[in-house]
Structure 1
């Protein structure tokens, strides 16, 4: 009588499965990607005014004395209240990032004289462009822009949800509330768009982006709006200080 092959008992199957599980675990352990610890930034860094250049170099602008820094793209002139630069070439295309922490205010003066006052907890991305060139900036926080009255080059300011386009204007941008980003025109004219709707502002009015609706416009008290800029040194004063710095060097 022919014997039938003996079937594996449940105990045998459990043993086989256990061996396969061990082999799989060993294979995963050998093949796993190496863990690389990410170096954490010190908490104190978050309290500093920092200019991070396109190549990764970081310049600490916090409470600095008047100083000249040579970079690949520009000569940077910094002071306790603001910073400006002199481009080394026309075709600069790299982005720099200026960060102002909570409780601080700072000023950037572009090569064409455009003044940008940065309020607390604000990040600005910009290029070392020469005068007369089209300017593009990215701002997140609050910034007040003061363009030269006779400026003809177009400035485009990108916020997280809107774009502001102007050639000669003074205006304030507030993006702390991403669902209600506000643009306030003080002088001149500008357009603000969210790619769905475009609004043209008149001085003394604000355009408020609404995440779930169209823009709303309303008159504003400019004195109240610009109250935070009163203690910031004017661009004229800053340029005079920097001019003295250049002459001394």
Structure 2
């Protein structure tokens, strides 16, 4: 039986354990409980945290909570709009902190590095997005721009806009990254055709397209390895 936080002995309460031993000793449920701050009338914050973790399946996963929308999180009894927002903001804060630290030393060696950088941001999107990664001659990070937000199945973009941003940032190399909401990163005919258009434009403008990467659910496809495109 899971005890309510206020009924726990003081040394076992998440706040007290964190103060005494540090946040690294807290369980996943206790971390969530600290973010939630309070429970509900009939349920303590630790118990509520366990209920939230149950959303992720038989093997509770802290990382998978981020898949759920604010509305879906509110389906857990006692989780109102404010608590759901607190959870979503916690994950967004973690992403931004991770990326801000990466930018200080960010250098992309290959498609695996690029896919890893975008995977957690894009794998659970319910619509298609195209993002352009801008790099210098040594493949060091210059910036990322969301060029297009589409529907469930497609996104439209302008090759001209890609090149304008490349010139603004002084980028010598670019990478196209988009997701498939289905979770299957297999390239479509349109994916191949649109990539080929950017290859041609980049050749004319002296901005090299290094790759076009499709993000699926935990997997990706690199069109650099697709022999149907002339690089």
Q: Same fold (TM over 0.5)?
A: no
Give the TM bin, normalised by the shorter chain: under 0.3
Indicate the structure (1 or 2) with the bigger Cα radius of gyration.
1
Higher relative contact order (CA 8 A, sep 6+): 2
Report the TM-score when normalising by structure 2: 0.27
Which structure: greater strand fraction? 1
Which structure: greater helix fraction? 2
Report the TM-score when normalising by structure 1: 0.26
